[in-house]
Structures are given as structure tokens and as C-alpha cells.
Chains A and B, each alone.
Chain A
């Protein structure tokens, strides 16, 4: 692409950004009016959790979250279908290995904390899953070819676990006659926690496996190529 054309595009995009800023400003200046926020807060006592964001994700719009897990699964299937993962880096030196052996357990612990705290404060399955995934990324950067994950067969099960538990809870409530993913009052907190726990593990494994960038190699072949 030649220079004047690039300059032209840059100028046009500057104008576009200004228009965007103006639209944003106009939206911010508008009177609050009727908001979904009020509705979300009104039904919060019924949802079983105290954090409105978790209530939106796991209760009011649980379909969204279910399909989001399906998107993650589909992405991982796409990545796995492209072939085997590249071999990882060489084993880490002493300093990096020592840091990883400290940070990874802390990440897992913090992930568990975020999962629990999501019931009444910022946190939840996705934040906790992201921490688990980053633990896997660290392990792979430090030389573990499989990013700290178990065998391929176990990975398949873990990756599907989140969406499977979610769908099973939904089907269970449907069979009970109260509708797909409509939690019975009193049970909702524990059902949400169950779904979130499975989703956390699933998300963590999916993110780490996606970072590895391909189907996991079997350990047997590792022995041949050290």
C-alpha cells in the first residue's frame, strides 16, 4: 500500500475515532433512565449469590455462559484438528524453575480463592480459569511440553467437563419441571458453585491446551526425542 493511501486512511480513522468519542460522550451524558442494573439488583436475593455480575453470568443469562463454554471447546477442537503441538522450550534454568515452583501453586490457590469469592465480590469461574490457564502457560514456558496437563485422554474429559456439568444441571432442572437452567430456590447457590467449579477446571485446561497450540503428544514419543 502506498504512502498517500495510508495517510488518507489514517486521517479518516482519526475522524472515525472522534465520532466514536462523541457518541460515547453523548451516551455517558444521557440521563440514567430505566436500566437493566435495577432489574438485576431487584432479583439478586432470588439468585443465591451476592455478586450481581455472577448472578448475570450464571443465573439470568446462563445460556450465554453455556454457549461461551461451547465456543471455547470449539476453538480447542479447531486447534487440535490442525495437528500436533510444537515441542516446548528446553527445561528452565535453576532460577526460573524455582520461581515457577513457587508461582504455580500460588496461582492455583488464588484461582480457588477467586472461584469462591465470586459469590459475593468480583471474581468467578472465568477469572479463576484464567489463572489456572496462566499457570499452565508458565509451566510450558519453563519447559514442560504439555503445560502441566495430564494425558490427552484425561484432557479431553476435563475440557468437556464444564459444559457437560452445565448441560446436565440444565437438563436436570428441565426434567424436574421448572425449565432449562431455572435453579430451584435454596439450591441455586450450590448449583452455581458446582457449575462454576467444573467450568473453572475446564477453562483452565482449555486455555493451557490452546497455548500449547496443537494436539498433545504422547509421553512415549518424548523419550525418543529428549
Chain B
């Protein structure tokens, strides 16, 4: 098994695991982490595919390893993923602070998973 195939395998596994977590995990923090797992898998796949353009370049003796365009797009994507994650976590913290819940399920429907429900906090005066 060569390098690109191994990276591809890891990327596909990360996307699969992330999707599973996004669908099956009730906790919102776990969903955010799972979403980041999907993103990491996509970045990994994209980065390895960038190798394809590098073959022609290194053959031309430019000493460059990989297509620079996907690499730059991954750097952009990482920053956007970080920004989205940080604001999602901040919103989640605020939700937990106001309602005492850390899931996105409604208070009534979440009765079958009491471990994820904390005692509701009293209403805070804004």
C-alpha cells in the first residue's frame, strides 16, 4: 500500500466516522467534533489529490511537490472551519448557560436520554 492510498483510506474513514457521529450522537458538542472530523477527512483527501498535479511539476524539475492551488484552498478551508467551530462552541456554551441543556433536542422529546439533560437553570435576566 503506497502513501496516497493510505492517506485516502484515512480520509474516507474520517468522513465515515464523522458522518456517523453527526447522525447518531445526541450531544451538540459531539456533533461539532464529528463535523470537524468530516472536515479533516475532506481536507486530507483534497490534499492527497493535490499530489496528482505535482507529478508533472516535479518531472519538470521545479522541485515542487503537489499542486499549489488545492493546498492554498485547504489553508483557506482550515481557517473557515476554525471560525465556524469557535462560533458554534460559543453558541453551545451560551445555550447551556441559558437553558441548562447541551443537546439540540426539544425539552419534551429528550426524555429518553436523561443523561444528557441537566437540571434546567432558572431564567437569567438578560
Contacts and interface: CB of A to CB of B under 8 A. Distances in A.
Nearest to B20: A13
A65 B76 contact: yes
A57 B72 CA distance: 6
Contact of A1 (B24, B75, B82, B94): B24
Interface string B35-54: 00000000001001101111
Contacts of B53: 32, 35-38
Indicate the size class of the contact surface on chain A: 35 or more
Please report whether the interface of chain B is mostly helix, strand, loop or mixed according to DSSP.
helix
A72 B15 contact: no
Chain B: interface size category:
35 or more
A53 B90 contact: no
B5 A25 contact: yes
Contacts, number: 133
Contact of B12 (A24, A41, A52, A82): A24
Given A17-B16, A35-B56, A78 B68 contact: no
Interface of A: 1, 6, 9-10, 13-14, 16-18, 20-21, 24-25, 27-28, 30, 32, 35-38, 40-41, 52-53, 55-57, 61, 64-65, 68, 71-72, 74-75, 78-79, 82-83, 124, 126, 203, 207, 210-211, 213-214
